[in-house]
Structure 1
Amino acid sequence: MSPSPRPTPADDLSEDALPEAGDNAGPLFTITELAAEFDITPRAIRFYEDMGLLTPARAGRNRVYTQRDRTRLKLTLRGKRLGLSLQEIKQLVDMYDSQSDTVPQARAFLGVLEQHRRQLQQQLNDIEITLEEIALHEERCHALLSEAGHAAD
């Protein structure tokens, strides 16, 4: 069994609430700072921007990210770790971003998670079947080598 991946800032559950839409108070971040914090490349952040997941302001030619952008990036990275598509992540982050009733948001997120759980369970079943087939072939090879008088290395 492989060790679980080390926690990243995207795993921190303490700051899930997005700041208000017009709230630009608070710290501002550069693309380099966010890339370093979340251990991703600036190109990845620009890609998420191109996909509409982030909408930083501009200060001249530089992107300026607010706490709200940072939180959206955190949620995006968490969604990727869960195996969600960028389209699913965008829908969920946009719902989360709406600051409206959280019950429909929670139901929608639960539905997406249930679907991914089913997909992962099917993949796990497929992997287990494949591993059983490999074990069977290994046993047959060992038996053939044993019969031929050659021990397997």
Structure 2
Amino acid sequence: MSNDSRPAVPAAAAPEGNGRLFTITELAAEFDITPRAIRFYEDMGLLEPARAGRNRVYTHRDRTRLKLTLRGKRLGLTLQEIKQLVDMYDASSGAESQLRAFLAVLQQHRSQLEQQLDDIEVTLAEISQHEERCLSLLAEGKPGL
């Protein structure tokens, strides 16, 4: 059975707001990822598609959760951090607590990236020193280190 066809879904499975349903193939094409990646996110608890026969059927909620997951990955967040934030998206705990939790994750991630940037700058400075030394030795005709 092809995932490209729109499976018939019982009305009870349709989401409340936006009734649009998506196949795994449609989501994979839209977000330029593989169906295997989507299934992995399902295994990690980030997506919970319904079934129409043997096909996975994704709601607007699933599409939004996938979009948030991919944004989190682009930011370099771990899947655990992403899951925590995406789960808050669904919770009725209020936007303020969600935003505060997201800010805390972002601040922690920024700190890690700034440390990595410092480490990279030190490494680049060391590489520059070694390059200068090599060029100097070559210019002097002393190929030995």
TM-score interval w.r.t. the shorter chain? Answer: 0.7 to 0.9
The aligned residue for residue 61 of structure 1 is 54
Q: Which one of 136, 139, 142 corresponds to residue 143 of structure 1? A: 136
Counting aligned pairs with the same residue, the percent is: 77
The root-mean-square deviation of aligned C-alpha atoms, in Å, is 1.4
1:104-137 deviations in Å (ceiling 9; x for gaps):
1110000000000000000000000000000000
Aligned length: 129
Maintained 8 Å contact 1:24/1:66: no
State the shift of 1:23 in Å: 2.1
1:82 to 2:78 alignment: no
Q: Matched residues in 2 for 1:63 and 1:147: separation?
A: 69
Q: Which runs of 4+ in 1 moved over 4 A?
A: none
Q: Secondary structure at the match of 1:71?
A: helix
The aligned residue for residue 41 of structure 1 is 34
Structure 1 stretches of 5 or more lacking a match? 1-21
Q: Matched residues in 1 for 2:49 and 2:57: separation?
A: 6
Q: TM-score, normalised by structure 2?
A: 0.85
Maintained 8 Å contact 1:29/1:65: yes
State the shift of 1:25 in Å: 4.1
Higher relative contact order (CA 8 A, sep 6+): 1
Q: TM-score, normalised by structure 1?
A: 0.81
State the shift of 1:24 in Å: 6.2
Q: Which one of 118, 121, 129 corresponds to residue 125 of structure 1? A: 118
